[in-house]
Amino acid sequence: MKSKKTAVVVGANGVIGSNLISHLESHGDWQIIGLSRRGGTDNGNVKYISVNLLDSEDSKLKLATLTAVTHIFYAAYQDKPTWAELVAPNLAMLVNVVNAIESVAVDLQHISLMQGYKVYGAHYGPFKTPAKENDGGHMPPEFNVDQQQFLEAQQKGKKWGWSAIRPSVVAGTALGNPMNLVLVIAIYASISKELGLPLRFPGKLGAYDKLLDITDAGLLAKATVWAATNPLCANQAFNITNGDLIRWNDLWPKIAAYFKMEVAPPLQMPLTIVMADKLTLWTQMQEKYGLAKHHYSSVSSWPFGDFVFSWDYDFFSDGTKARRMGFHEYVETEKMFFSLFDELKRNGIIPG
């Protein structure tokens, strides 16, 4: 009989956290606690706690009973307008979680930290590709780096270990997420089709032919748990991607064909601007096609779309370290997009 483990998933309602919870549930030997500001509905082995992680006292109070926790999976994120403003809240949330749980969880074994390519400076412009886990750092501010440095210092002399997981753009279907590329494309395509327009790539022209990797949220969940439960992976970082590369100039016409649309040449259009006035149209489409009544703001991540489609430089990492250490899962990115679009249709998010 497998021994029970207790996981805390921080950022439980996001695309990463929700997939982590589903994957942990599938194992059958995890007790799971989901943390988020919104909380959630308890179900089976999953219980939710609504907590303001920016408040150290609220964190201590709400997390004081988590004495049985063995693993912390940290995937929370607080969005801010500038890179510098991201540091204080995102570091504070991690510090509050770790301090509150470590002080009561006597059998804490591992803390998993979700990062990204900002560690490599990918958000500033062209960076060394393929990026490797041991590449040199860059000038701060960078909250991902500050978070990892906190864990490294906190772990010294302790029996628990940490891992830093570095996905590329994460693809999933969770709503209300500020960074959901799948929804960006699906909603943009659905509205374009409703207006009788061809599907145009809306990003920088130079971004259309550059190499890019993607990380499926389900594959990311598997890799995160693998690293957190494999002693050989302790105190290390891992790039996690689907394992292949795409170019929009190849994939975009196939996405248009999936939605039964014509494709037209790219035209740089800031989605944050051109999609801002589409609330009324989207509401009409929900009525017309019998879609679920999710507010337009919860199904659109236009600033993130503009960010991703502005990468007029190669954007990918070297994922072989995880493979060399035993993680061999693979997802074909093209099929992943179509599968996630299918899921959005089944859930009544976009027209079938």
| pLDDT score for 1 | 42
- pTM check: above 0.75: yes
CA atoms within 13 A on the CB side of 85: 5
What is the secondary structure of 73-107 as a DSSP string? EE------SSHHHHHHHHHHHHHHHHHHHHTT-TT
| pLDDT score for 2 | 56
If you average pLDDT over residues 232-248, what whole number do you get? 98
224 has pLDDT over 70:
yes
pLDDT tens for residues 282-318? Answer: 999 999 999 999 999 999 999 999 999 999 999 999 9
pLDDT tens for residues 63-96? Answer: 999 999 999 999 999 999 999 999 999 999 999 9
Nearest one of 228, 226, 190 to 350, comparing CA atoms: 190
Across the chain, the runs of DSSP E, i.e. the strands, are 5-10, 30-36, 46-50, 71-74, 110-114, 161-167, 169-171, 199-200, 211-212, 214-216, 236-240, 246-247, 263-264
- Report all structural domains of the chain as residue ranges with CATH numbers, in order of start: 5-169+215-240 (3.40.50.720), 171-213+245-345 (3.40.50.720)
For the chain, give me the number of helices (H) and strands (E)? 12, 13
| DSSP H helical ranges for 197-269 | 217-229, 248-258
**Radius of gyration over alpha carbons of the chain, in Å?**
20
Alpha carbon 184 to chain centroid distance? 14
Helix (H, G, I), strand (E, B) or coil at 351: coil
**Which amino acid is located at 78 in the chain?**
Q
